[in-house]
Chain A
Amino acid sequence: MKLNDQERAMLDGAEGPAIQRAMDLLMRYGEALGAERLVDTRNVCGTIGATTPFMRQYAQKPGGMDAVFSEFNLDSATVVQVPKVRAFATHLQQGMDPDYAELQGIAPEVVNLFRKGNAWSSGLGVQLMNTCTPYQVGNVPVKGEHCAWMESSAVIYCNSVLGARTNTEGRESTGAAMLTGKIPYWGYHCDENRYGTHLVEVDIDVETTADWGLLGYYVGEIVQDRIPVLKGIRHVPNLPRLKHFGAAASSSGGVEMYHLVGITPEAPTLESAFGPKQPVATIRYGMAERRRAYELVNATARDREIQYVMLGCPHYTIEQIWEAAKLLEGKRLHPDVSLWIFTPRVIKSLADQNGYTSIIEAAGAKIMTDTCSAMAKAIPKGTKVAAFDSMKQAHYLPAMMGIQGWFGTTEDCIDAAVSGRFNGDLK
């Protein structure tokens, strides 16, 4: 790795021990990658909180949040005092909603830890968006902007829909990037790595949010971490649809970038999507492949009686909350079922203002913020079977919590929450 004078000075400790540790980590990381240099970034999305179960114990140790940041954001066993961040840094989802801590099984002293951690983070200059969807609430990078983001569903959105440039960073590299404004110049930062690798010929109508999830899950399963180029999209999607598509493709595989011909910014044409490269394979997506994705994601599901419906993975948009409110208006949840909807705090305040929160709560459901079931490892007591309108949550949560999980449309899920029985099927 070649460093410029400023970077060299950081590594030599001219800007203090925390910056020195940050630059040391970036050097080790860059060399592991085989990168040749760093690139400046002013846009970082990461996580520095200590609310997930393992971190909580760590935050109780001497050094408190500085010790957490040193170990988990700088890979430094030596505790350094953390200075204010240099880059515009936004915080991703955390390990609880403090307003629903009891329901989420979180003890009051842990809520205090969360509040102290948030105050500490905002004191550093970190924006407490506390969401997996920073692009919904004020961090919308422009085409070509170099970013250092973690959260796979946000990374794929950043690269593909916005045309900004980020690799899938981790907790440690985003911590180092916040302090230094640097990240290895490698992978998706470079033009030549952003072209498509696989052609996906979409033979059927893909229109609903559920359809986009099924398509993403199938494509991710096939291309793994390569770059699919989708041709034959007959209906221009919207934010929730691409949010779901990307989250699904990055869960079943490791897709960090895709192109939709004629839709996404680096694919005005098929030729521009592949650039100088030829597709290594062509994949067809029809009814059989759609059915296959549905069966794969529902691999854990057997029993139709459900106890939990979770919506908002990735965090719901205001449009999705509006839709959920319309489906729930005038209804009551089945007494054995809980329905939790997850969204950024900013969007919940909009839902409050629009009256959706009242409608949803009148039905017996809750709107929660700052976290999700998978991050908080929080599901209602006694849950054996859950239903999701998210391929990502259906992929992860059953394994993490030892439950069965159904994937269905939002309508299927809300119907299940009201009836107590998941009646969804692939239509």
Chain B
Amino acid sequence: MSAAMNAGLDAGRAPGEKIILRGRKVVGGCCEGEALVTRDRVSGWGGIDPSTGTIIETRHQLRGQSFKGKVLVFPGAKGSSGWSNQFHIARLAGTAPAAMLFNEMTTKIALGAVVTHAPAMTDFDRDPLQVIETGDWVRVDADRGVVEVTKKR
């Protein structure tokens, strides 16, 4: 705990430490996986390649990385209204994220999460972007509104 207090952030705790976040279900279900975290909003159409689940947007923090099977933690959606369709295709292509955790509710992300069929949550008691780092192990129980984060480092 002292490391977190020193840093003034929740990130940077001891390896193996567990952190619980509570939030609102967007799409129900349970799953677990490795976190992929970005502070950049994600663009769907023109921003991802759904055949591989890779972020392709030119200036994106995660450019070239795939969210396939990952717990994607991000601020929210941006860009074209093709957002839901691109994640819908990703689901059918088997490249969708395992779960989505985000802060900003929009119609793009709501519909996109619904058609991705993966557990999704928002409205957290703490900012998941502050708590979760790429590589952490994350268990999402959207039905109960609970996210359990196991710190990698």
Contacts and interface: CB of A to CB of B under 8 A. Distances in A.
Answer yes or no: do A and B interact: yes
Interface of A: 25, 28-29, 32-34, 54, 71-72, 75, 150-152, 155, 167-173, 184, 186-187, 224-225, 250-251, 253-254, 296, 299-300, 374, 395-396, 398-400
A292 B27 CA distance: 39
Given A300-B58, A399-B46, A225 B78 contact: yes
Nearest to B78: A254
A409 to B, nearest CB: 22
A32 B110 contact: yes
20 contacts: A25-B114, A32-B110, A32-B120, A54-B51, A71-B88, A72-B88, A75-B114, A75-B115, A150-B82, A168-B106, A170-B107, A170-B111, A171-B82, A171-B84, A172-B115, A173-B111, A184-B107, A224-B41, A225-B78, A398-B58
A99 B26 CA distance: 44
Nearest to A149: B81
Interface in B1-33: 24, 26-27
A400 B45 CA distance: 9
Interface in B37-80: 41, 46-47, 50-51, 56-59, 76-80
A299 B57 CA distance: 12
Contacts of B78: 224-225, 253-254
B83 A170 contact: yes
Contacts of B134: none
B111 A29 contact: yes
A169 B107 contact: yes
A32 B46 CA distance: 24
A225 B108 CA distance: 11
A225 to B, nearest CB: 6
Contacts of B84: 170-173
B108 A168 contact: yes
| Nearest 8 Cβ contacts at the A-B interface | A170-B84, A150-B81, A254-B78, A396-B46, A32-B110, A167-B107, A171-B85, A170-B111
B127 interface: no
B56 A400 contact: yes
Given A225-B76, A399-B58, A172 B88 contact: yes
B88 A374 contact: no
B97 interface: no
Contacts of B82: 150, 170-171
A244 to B, nearest CB: 16
Nearest to B26: A32
Given A54-B50, A75-B114, A299-B58, A152 B81 contact: yes
Given A170-B81, A224-B78, 19 more contacts: A25-B114, A28-B27, A28-B114, A32-B27, A32-B114, A54-B50, A155-B81, A168-B108, A169-B81, A169-B107, A170-B84, A171-B85, A173-B111, A184-B107, A225-B76, A251-B80, A254-B77, A299-B58, A399-B57
A337 to B, nearest CB: 23
Contacts of B27: 28, 32
Interface string B101-130: 000111110111111000010000000000
Contacts of B80: 151-152, 250-251, 396
B41 A75 contact: no
B89 A54 contact: yes
Contacts of A155: 81
A75 B85 CA distance: 10
Nearest to B60: A399
A250 B85 contact: no
Contact of A34 (B24, B51, B114): B24
B76 A186 contact: no
